[in-house]
Each structure stands twice: as structure tokens, then as C-alpha cells.
Amino acid sequence: MSAKTPFINVLISLGDDHLILGHRLSEWCGHAPMLEEDLSMPNMALDLLGQARNLYGYAVELEAEGRTEDDIAFLRTDREYKNILMVERPNGDFAHTMLRQFYFAVYMQLFWDDVLANGDARLKEFAAKATKELAYHIRHCGEWLVRLGDGTEESAERMKAAVDALHPYTNELFDITPDFNTCIEDELVPNPETLRKDWNTAIQQIFRQAFLVVPNVQFPQTGGRTGHHTEAFGHLLSELQYMQRAYPGLTW
């Protein structure tokens, strides 16, 4: 059981990335700049939510202490969530949202591809589906990056501002916590360091087409993996957890 604990923690932290980013994306529902995007963002949010459920479901199954995936999603306090900071940031404008999604989707696709080759057997099952779903996210967001970066003066400015704001948060994707390190040694998950080169290449490739430049980050922003969150996170949780806090034990 104790040997499983680091893996359970890693599964939950990955699930947190997906749940929180999915929640942020879903905030666009009804507010998107055009109808097609009002469909696309909740669709992508749904994929992320499904992936989060897979990860949480697996974690509570290994834990075998009677918790459910809903307990993990709705009944923890802010410090217990271990998502990276980038996913909890307020959406900002559409350029910010598309860029963040692109950064995350490219990383996760590399992650799942590696899982398919070397990882834990159950994760492979999640990966087989997720990697195809992410292919759609990457294409969709990548097209927007180019369209906005190579668009009007205004859209290009906004795209550049998004890169400046978000790029400092990307380093946390590759963070290796002690739990993560144990899982890498047990060959359950890929080593994020080995994904960095391909991630950089994919980002640079699309940035070239979008007339964007990868900034030189002096102060990478980290903290989420150890439960140190941004101010925005408490506000996000108060919405996400509202129903369970107001009506404890509520079920559909």
C-alpha cells in the first residue's frame, strides 16, 4: 500500500491539472467570441473532465479507502490540490486561453505517447483515447495561434501579451516532485525532462508561423505541485465546490 502512495499522489496531481483546466475552459460557455468557439471550448473541457475522471477513479481504486472521484474533485481544500499554476490562472482574453490550451495539450500528448510506449498498463488505456482527443485540441488551438499571431495588429499584440504572461508558467509542466521521481523510477510515468526537447520544438514550430518569439524567462512561476496556489485559485474552488459545500452529500 505504502509503495503505491507516490503513484496515487501523482495520479491525483495530474487529475487536478485536467479538472482545473477543464473548469476554466468551461467558464467560456456562453461567453465565447463566436458560436463555433462556444462549442469548441466546452467540448475540449469535456475531454479534460473525462480524463480527470479516469485519473481520479484510478487513484481512489488504488487507495481503496472508500473515497470516490467526486470526493477528490469536490471535498479537498486549496492546499490539497496539486495542479500546476498555469491551469488555474483566470482565462484572460481568447488569445490567453488558446495559448494555455496549446501549451498544455502539446505537453500531455507527449506525455501520453510516452505512456503508451513505456508506462503503467492502466494509464495506457487512458492514453490511447486521450492522445487522439488531444490531437484535435492541438490542431484547433494551433490554428488560432497562427490566425491571431499573423492576424491584425490588435490580435498580434494580444497574442504577444499572452506569450509574455503565460510562458513563465510553462516550466512547471516539467517539474519533478519526489513522488513523481519515485514513479519515474518505477517506470509508471515518463520523465518530463525527456519530453522537454520535443515540447520546445513543437512550440517553436507554431510560434514561427504565428510570428511569435519564445521569451527568455528569468523567473519561472512554480508552486502548484506543492499546493502553493495563486490568489485566483480560492475563487475558482468556491465556484467549483459550491454545490457540495452548500448541500453536503448531494447526488444527482
Q: Toward another protein, which CB reaches closer, 100 or 140?
A: 140
Q: What grid cell was written down for 154? A: 490588435
Minimum CB distance to another protein, residue 19 (Å)? 11
Minimum CB distance to another protein, residue 136 (Å)? 6
Minimum CB distance to another protein, residue 17 (Å)? 14
The span from the CA of 107 to the CA of 192, in Å, is 9
Contact 104, 17 (CB under 8 A): yes
Amino acid identity at 63: E
Minimum CB distance to another protein, residue 20 (Å)? 15
User: Sign of dihedral through CA atoms 76, 119, 54, 19?
Assistant: positive
Contact 67, 207 (CB under 8 A): no
Q: Toward another protein, which CB reaches closer, 95 or 138?
A: 138
What SS3 state is found at 177? Answer: coil
Closest CA to 251 of 76, 80, 69, 81: 69
Helix H or strand E segment including 40: helix 35-63
Q: Toward another protein, which CB reaches closer, 85 or 134?
A: 134
8-state DSSP, 210? T
Minimum CB distance to another protein, residue 48 (Å)? 7
Q: Toward another protein, which CB reaches closer, 101 or 170?
A: 101
Closest CA to 169 of 206, 93, 224, 212: 224
Q: Toward another protein, which CB reaches closer, 125 or 198?
A: 125
Chain residues binding another protein by CB under 8 A are: 35-36, 39-40, 43-51, 53-54, 124-126, 128-133, 135-136, 139-140
The span from the CA of 242 to the CA of 184, in Å, is 36
Minimum CB distance to another protein, residue 221 (Å)? 28
Q: Toward another protein, which CB reaches closer, 85 or 141?
A: 141
Minimum CB distance to another protein, residue 178 (Å)? 29
Contact 147, 98 (CB under 8 A): no
The span from the CA of 171 to the CA of 221, in Å, is 7
Q: Toward another protein, which CB reaches closer, 78 or 122?
A: 122
Compute CA 203 distance to the chain's CA centroid, rounded to the nearest angstrom: 16
